[in-house]
Amino acid sequence: MPQLRLALNQIDSTVGDLTGNTETIVQWTRHSAEQGAHLAAFPEMALTGYPVEDLALRSSFVAASRRALTELASRLAEEGLGEVPVVVGYLDRSERAHHYGQPAGAPSNSAAVLHRGAVVLRFAKHHLPNYGVFDEYRYFVPGDTLPVVRVRGVDVALAVCEDLWQEGGRVPAARAAGAGLLLSVNASPYERKKEDTRLELVRRRAREAGCTTAYLAMIGGQDELVFDGDSLVVDAEGEVLVRAPQFSEGCVLIDLELPAAGAPPTGPVGDGLRVDHAVLSADPLPPYPAELTGGHADRLSEDEEVYSALVVGLRAYAAKNGFGSVLLGLSGGIDSALVAAIACDALGAQNVYAVAMPSRYSSEHSETDAAELARRTGLNFRTVPIGPMFDAYMAGLELSGLAEENLQSRIRGTTLMALSNQEGHIVLAPGNKSELACGYSTLYGDSVGAFGPIKDVYKTTVFRLAEWRNASALERGQTPPIPENSITKPPSAELRPGQVDTDSLPDYDVLDRILERYVDRDQGHAEIIAAGFDAELVTRVLRMVDAAEYKRRQYPPGTKISAKGFGKDRRLPITNRWREPN
């Protein structure tokens, strides 16, 4: 049987950085060629970054993407890399009008095969996702061909992300075309427990296609999204041949023995697709370095996986937007403590600046716990008492009750933003998903900032991640970053004497289980009560969630780790009189 050495390049792209992304693709193509690869692949829209959102609607950006693709093909040949066929995702435009009204020239989520200085095959994504964070019907037109490239006597069918996730389309077409390998290039965002779903999907699709199937994914971060890699190759029976690490850039090399190609099919091969075929050549297989023989990367535990996603998300947001340092208020509580630990791991403690801002209601342990975290991590720490500022406001406004409480939070927010302007750090907002859901935050107070690292993390998970991070440090012989008292003491905003979160919110364990059903799974009042929750409590929680939509719209972006975070994938009107039950 023919042998094919496949190089899956799991890389991090930046949206709009055509020059930087080109350099990355050239670098990893060179690495693939040096290892004797016969076919090198890069993720969905690797050349433009993903998702490009409304940049797809700018003809200037589409044209720049097309130019960058042809220039990349020429450059690979000029640098002696032209003999290796390269599959790379980019933004293109359609060449014809589509039956549902899209004119010729509409943008397409496309990929191409580059070889010997030319673009030998272009194809567009067939299935366009339109759920969750995806909005591809807004931007793209679908492709209508099954691309097949013949390399070393093997027919390789090509797919883009949703073409593999959706039933039908490219998968049965690949079987009908007699492909020896189905290669899917993806930019599939991370969510908790998605790796198991992804693995089972690829196994199922390999059995349906009747051939070895390779799934290549992107890594890195783009705004709220994180990409975790986890690329894999399975055989026709669904057995895993190789699996890449999560959250790590790199090249996965594997030698495959695959069926020899037959005669190219003619006519439709499924779902209205017709075969678009290109025959390429490649050099004989060179010796295979023993240290590169595939294998299975160790899988991360669920807590380590989530924590890693939060670190990667913050690091990518800061680096890709040109921010070198971050600033946060450090209260001694669990939320700001976890955010500080994530920031130190993402950017280095020397680039993390924290401020304690005690008021007359701040407990002694809040100040000592904040100082202890600073000592353990080595971050930059200072104390700015807000008492004098608070007294000045009160003298002029004579506030009381909730207005007095929120004034303290807003003074802290103003202080952080002033230091941000003065010193050039971006402010991190410490709010968690439980608080955002219920509106338990102060506009222009604790909600100020450029990024919310734990915005999509429920409070119960915040505690679990803090415990995991400390345990992980102990396993490595390091000092746990988060003081134990920050984990064990009752959460409190400390805006009035003796205040604790449970004065305003239900117990977090119960609250989070209700929120997960209402927010993440869109269950209604009756369904949640039927699951065993108290009816009065459910009514109260749902009322809080519905009333807080205007606050969430003004919260900064933050890393998405769940199937439905606040933002692109949960879109509700602010002005809305529908209430559960109804």
> Catalytic positions, please?
44, 125, 161
Residue 99 CB partners (closer than 8 Å, separation 6+): none
Distance in angstroms between the alpha carbons of the first and the last residue of the chain: 64
440 three-state secondary structure: coil
Q: Which two tokens stand for residue 10?
A: 């799991």
Cα dist from 370 to 181, 375, 570, whole Å: 55, 9, 34
The residues with which 267 forms a beta bridge, in sequence order, are none
CB-CB contact of 214 with 37 (8 Å): no
Identity of the residue numbered 385: P
CB-CB contact of 258 with 4 (8 Å): yes
Q: Peptide bond preceding 107: is omega within 30 degrees of 0, i.e. cis? A: no
Q: Which two tokens stand for residue 105?
A: 């020239």
45-79 burial, b at 16+ Cβ within 10 Å, e below that, comes to bbbbbbbbeebbeeeebbebbbebbeebbebbbee
Cα dist from 336 to 351, 432, 449, 450, 486, whole Å: 16, 10, 13, 15, 9
Give the CA angle between residues 16, 20, 24 to the nearest 5°: 125
CB-CB contact of 358 with 366 (8 Å): yes
Cα diameter, the chain: 87
392 three-state secondary structure: helix
DSSP state of 259: P
CA dist., res. 110 & res. 63, Å (int): 13
Identity of the residue numbered 19: T
CB-CB contact of 332 with 486 (8 Å): yes
CA dist., res. 97 & res. 91, Å (int): 17
CA dist., res. 341 & res. 463, Å (int): 13
Residue 201 backbone phi and psi in degrees, to 5: -60, -50
- Residue 220: Cβ-neighbour burial (10 angstroms; 0-12, 13-18, 19+): buried
Identity of the residue numbered 296: H
CA dist., res. 26 & res. 30, Å (int): 6
Q: Which two tokens stand for residue 564?
A: 């439905």
Strands 212-216 and 145-151: unpaired
Q: Which two tokens stand for residue 479?
A: 């000092």
CA dist., res. 81 & res. 104, Å (int): 34
Among residues 147, 105, 101, the alpha carbon closest in space to that of 124 is found at: 147
Q: Sign of dihedral through CA atoms 236, 238, 243, 247?
A: positive
